[in-house]
Structure 1
Amino acid sequence: MESQHYLGHQHPLIFNEKQMSNQSEAEAAAIKCSRCGEAMFGPSFSCAEECGFYVHKQCAEAPSEMNHPFHRDHPLCLLPNSPYEGGYICNFCGEEACLSSPLIIQDKHHPHPFTRFWRNFSFTCDACGIDKKGGFRYTCSKCKLLVHKECISLPRVIKFFWHEHPIFHNYFLQLQGEGSSSKSWECVVCLDKVDIGFGSYSCLHCHFIVHVKCARKNEKWFYEIEPEDYKDDNFSDSDACKDSMIVMDRNEDGEATRIKHFSHEHNLMLSDEKINVEDHQYCDGCALSVSLDHPFYYCSQCDFLLHKKCAEFPIRKHLWFHVCPHPTTLVSEKIFKCFGCRYVYNGFAYRFNNEEWFDICLPCVIPDIVKCQGHEHPLYYHFGYDEGNCNACGKKIAYPFKCKVCKFFVHGHCLKLPQKAPHKCDEYLLTLTYHDDNTYSLTHFCDICEQDRDPSLWFYHCAICDISAHLNCVLGKGRYPFMKPGKIYKESDQLHPHPLIFVKKIHYYPECFKCGDSCQNLALECVNSECSYIVHWDCIAPSNLKES
């Protein structure tokens, strides 16, 4: 060690080759340089009188005057203290310690080093696509890239909670394939256009893209995946789909016509035009009505029905709206209240970590971009939007699906309303209707509650009987629209000696054995024809399985 004086300090300084000998590594990290304010590591000087003055060797040897490309008009003078009251802000980057930023940065995900660029001008970063003046900029001369310093270390691959596949960072997207140039590229978070000539995150498998700033808006929305650890099989739902069903037969087009599904004991057959489908038949997966308009699988030995799209749901699935790196698991034959829409179901659910409080119904597992029969344009999920009212139900909007072409907003749970629904007011099923073309104002009322009805909102209607009704009057409290009738209640033995099945009494109302009132809507009824036992579901259901 040698003792010497340093400009700006009254005591001699002792040179330390690596680290102060009498300090541990943790203690040294807590000590700050009296000039740059950074932690004391590496060669440094300390005060011989132990007055608490420490300085990096690099800071001590900084020239007293220098010319700098950031300010070409005058030389810069080194001052021991800021001449401004309350400290200073760098005119270049808005922070401190510009002179200590490295000249060259080598990132593990880029094959070439990035070199510091000394000109101060406004530019668009090739990594994030943001225009910004000031701050450090680095260039890769071989790749012709100009980027912010902080963008050099952007993760190459991330798992973004909004999408089922990992997404990759690219400095630009190269359009490939027929029709690719005509595709629109909008960020799924902010819905604004993405300039694919600059950096963004996108999916290798889907038409999915997001701005860098939007993908990293919240640190809970993503986690980094090392490129060498990425494998399609580890992050895709495609293989998991094989676990939900076994294909027994296929037709000439390769479509599965006979399957063995994990949820049912018998083989299932694909529907065709010869199948007779009656009203009041519902899918055992989503509990929505079944019709020949959409293909479905049926059991020839019992009344089990399953939409084709419901049968193809994978056993394990990453939900795009669920901020978690782990997939959910498909379960069947459960009664649950959906964590998303708060309706009670007796169909399939996606469950997280075997926790019953987090069950998601199949209709809620909808993509972030959907087509709706009630609107001509695609609808996009708009995160964080909470202005205006829903065009379906008229209630205040929050986290809606939004049309980018016109001012159309709709709740996610309104998108999953059943197309057909029974009600005692009519002998036929009521159909979900999106527009009331009748301009005669006296027809704009609800036939159930006999109150006025807004013709601009969705409603249920019977064209045969000319009956119209509010959504909530058909599907409101106690209606349980997503509980499939005919299923056996597995805990029947706790209530009655015979098995009980779910029924919905529409036109005949026997008295409830529990409360004595007439059993309208959802109830449990004894399968023994000689036994008249019936009870309201609301009379015996646990509080967490009632619809408020």
Structure 2
Amino acid sequence: MEKLEVSSVHNHPLLPLTRFVFGMCKGCDFMGYIYGGYCCNELGCGGEVFHKECGEALPEINHSSHPGHLLKLFSRETYSCSLCGESRFLFGYSCSICNFKLDLDCARRAAPLPILSKPSVHEHPLELCPSSKFVDDAIDCKVCGYLGFYCIVKYKCVQCNLFFHIECVTFFPEAYHTSHPKHSLKYLLCEAAAPSYADKKCILCGNELGKPIHHCDVCNFSICTRCMRNPPLGVVSLTTHDHQLHLVPRHIEFTCDACGTTGERSPYFCLQCNFMIHRECIGLPRVININRHNHRISYTPSLGQGKWKCGVCRKEVNGFYGAYNCAKCPTFAVHARCATRNDEWDMVEREGTPEEEEVAPYEVIDDKTIKHFSHDHNLRIKKDGEILQESILCGACAFQICSEPFYSCEQCSFTLHTKCANLPLKKRHVCDNLPLMLQKTSADDEISCCHLCSQLFTGFMYTNGLKTIDVRCGSFSEPFVHASHPHPLYYSQRYSVSCSECRWNGELTCDECDFNLCFHCGYLPKKVMRHRYDDHPLSLYCGEESVDGEYWCEACEKKLNPKKWFYTCNDCGVLLHISCVVGSFTYMMPGPCLKYDKHGEVVSNTSVCRAVCTRCNIRCILPSIFKGYKDGVVEYFCSAKCLFS
């Protein structure tokens, strides 16, 4: 099967699907294993899959269910299939003369026989009765007792006024299946009708058995209706194995040669080579990008002898089974299952396409001058020791320049930390499987909210249209080392785990002990220049276990627990709560801003008399507050909670 350059059901070229994918066909809405069809290989499409017949759907067809008239393909319209009665919002075929519509699932199947002269479920002949004919006579199926099932179209006995689902007529009381040719499978209306010793899961796909099921008492063999309707096939996949692979439909423990993990049922097997593989591991992509590594990684049938640790789950990788590794980083390896997880892989196969070159965020003018993409003027570098006043902020991270090297514009007040000036234009981040692009906020006065730390911010951001994160969280890489903990931390999406400091979601976790951090705490500034309560820099301390006695915060004049994190001045010994130093507007440039229909500006809270918050009626203690205007009256807000409540 060749690449499908033009498809009636998708706006990108479709590639042949060489692996089993459990998902939903975007043409007919069928959920199950799809093999031998097509998939989209465009970034952002998420690897959308199509049955072969759906991907190759013609603009016009003749169908035996509606002889005499052509049916034309249409898309994205809510309708009910005239044959099966299912409601759809996808593609379908319609007759321009009659009010007849057909979904793609029914279109690729032959129409049921109009008359069954000797049905297995009834003594009289049965006539096909489309759903539109019996809507007013909502009579349950005589076999299963349900009004609706996979197919709403029914057969009807005119003499007895009885109805029968097509599925029930087809399979009741028993039917043969290619995966179990030895005996016929009984049609059981529900799992409870099966013997008590029967397995609770389909022996082929491993999904929970619902209703009805198909069972063999002699062999204790049970499969679901989905697998009964779509028998698994023998497979030839040259990217996986040199010989044809055959299904072994039985309970059998095995180790998959492709991924190195164990299985318990229905592997595919090559007798010549003693090769065994999971169904879902057939046709694993050869070359891919994952979000935890900067280079492409490639599938290899064997890493060879050695000690390998997975770059995703950080567990051991057995080198004698299939895995992924990086040609540029000899020690980097990933389990096949970990690399192809939906939250890690961008669902695009890269084999045969050149690797993208990294584009620098600026043009070098000379050894001291650059032209950065974010600014209209040239920027000159300032070396260590040239300390700016604390009111000068970096245009990317909106934080104080301090004593770090920085770039400065000689024509205006724009400045950048050197580390911020070198931020890559495109990067992969652990929080999403799609790459993120560096850009300024869409308007100078627009506030964004970081997806990871939930901080409001202005300046630069990384975004892919779905997620937006600030450049502090965007700089995250593994392993993450923090002064509060002796072990490295790694990103995890276990949202039920709490941060060890603030009890928020602890997405940065330790493999060696029960310690977790959230992004907000993990990226608190280690040093804060002058604060209204001290003229010296404040340093972040991550708790002192051996300290006793009572301590008080200089800002709010409330007790401070020295065993928790706090800011302090190494010269004066001043102590402040984290919440009294870092607030909702800390990472925002002073000046006009707009967010959630609130017009105003971020201002420094440096006056001798602190402003009173309009919402909570408490004097604002944080260095930055929001100043708003309503009906000519000035309002002050100390936090985002007060601003947006």
TM over 0.5: yes
Q: Which residue is equivalent to 1:449?
A: 556
1:305 aligns with 2:415: yes
4+ residue runs over 6 A deviation: 21-27, 39-42, 44-48, 52-55, 59-62, 117-120, 514-520, 533-537
SS in structure 1 of the partner of residue 581 of structure 2:
helix
Would the aligned equivalents of 2:259 and 2:322 in 1 still touch at CA under 8 Å? yes
2:608 to 508, 515, 521: 508
Question: In structure 1, what residue type is equivalent to 2:608?
Answer: Y
Q: Is the 8 A contact 2:500 2:506 kept in 1?
A: no
Q: Which amino acid aligns with 1:522?
A: S
Query: Once the two structures are superposed, what CA deviation does each residue of 1:4-51 show, in whole Å capped at 9, x if it has no partner?
Result: xxxxxxxxxxxxxxxxx9668999x98xxxxxxxx9989x99998353
Query: Contact conserved, 1:460 with 1:469, CA < 8 A, in 2?
Result: yes
* Structure 1 residues 215 and 444: alpha-carbon distance in aligned structure 2, compared to 1, 3 A threshold: farther
Output aligned runs, 1:103-252, within 5 Å: 104-107=234-237, 109-110=239-240, 112-116=242-246, 122-139=253-270, 145-158=275-288, 160=290, 167-173=297-303, 185-188=309-312, 190-202=313-325, 210-215=334-339, 219=342, 222-228=345-351, 230-233=353-356, 238-239=358-359, 242=360, 244-250=361-367
Q: Give RMSD over aligned pairs.
A: 5.0
Alignment match, 2:532: 424
Task: Report if the CA contact (8 A) 1:136-1:148 is conserved.
Answer: yes
Q: Between the two proteins, what is the percent identity of the paired residues?
A: 25
Taking a change above 3 Å as real, the CA distance of residues 148 and 519 of structure 1, as seen in their structure-2 partners, is closer
**Distance verdict in 2 for CA 1:22–1:81, change over 3 Å:** same
TM-score by length of 1: 0.66
The CA deviation at 1:286 is: 0.8
Q: 1:417 to 1:49 in 2, by over 3 A?
A: same
CA contact (8 A) 1:159 1:167 kept: yes
Q: Is the 1:459–1:469 Cα contact (8 Å) retained in structure 2?
A: yes
Q: Give the distance between the partners of 1:375 and 1:60, measured in 2 at CA.
A: 62
Q: Aligned runs of 1:477-496 on 2, under 5 Å?
A: 480-485=585-590, 489=592
Aligned amino acid, residue 501 of structure 2:
A
Q: Which residue of 2 aligns with 1:372?
A: 482
State the one-letter code of the partner of 2:535.
E
- Name which of 507, 512, 521 aligns with 1:414: 521
Higher helix share: 1
User: Paired residue for 1:51?
Assistant: 119
Matched, 1:289 2:403: no
Greater relative contact order (CA < 8 Å, ≥ 6 in sequence): 1
Answer whether contact 1:381 1:399 (CA < 8 A) is retained.
Answer: no
- Cα shift at 1:302: 4.4
Aligned partner of 1:88 in structure 2 is: 215
* Alpha-carbon shift at residue 401 of structure 1 (Å): 0.5
Unaligned ranges ≥5, structure 2: 1-62, 72-80, 85-106, 121-168, 195-213
Q: CA deviation at 1:318?
A: 4.7
Amino acid at match of 2:542: Y
Normalised by the length of structure 2, the TM-score is 0.57
3-state SS in 2 of match to 1:414: helix
Distance 2:399 2:456 in 1: 13
* Structure 1 residue 306 displacement after superposition: 1.3
| 1:314 alignment partner, one of 424, 443, 447 | 424
Query: Of residues 419, 440, 456 in structure 2, which corresponds to 1:331?
Result: 440
Shift of 1:347: 1.5
Instruction: Tell me if structure 2 keeps the 8 A contact 1:160–1:222.
Output: yes
State how far apart, in whole Å, the 2-side matches of 1:106 and 1:290 are: 61
Distance 1:232 1:364 in 2: 26
Q: Could you give the per-residue CA deviations for residues 146-188 of structure 1, whole angstroms, max 9, x where no partner exists?
A: 312332133334555666665544333358xxxxx67x62352
Please point out which of 475, 484, 505 is paired with 2:582: 475
Separation in structure 2 between the aligned mates of residue 89 and residue 450 of structure 1, nearest angstrom = 76
Name the structure 2 match of 1:382. 492
Following the alignment from structure 1 to structure 2, what is the Cα–Cα distance between the partners of residues 435 and 282? 28
| Equivalent pair of 2:185/2:215 in contact (CA under 8 Å) | no
Residue matched to 2:624: 522
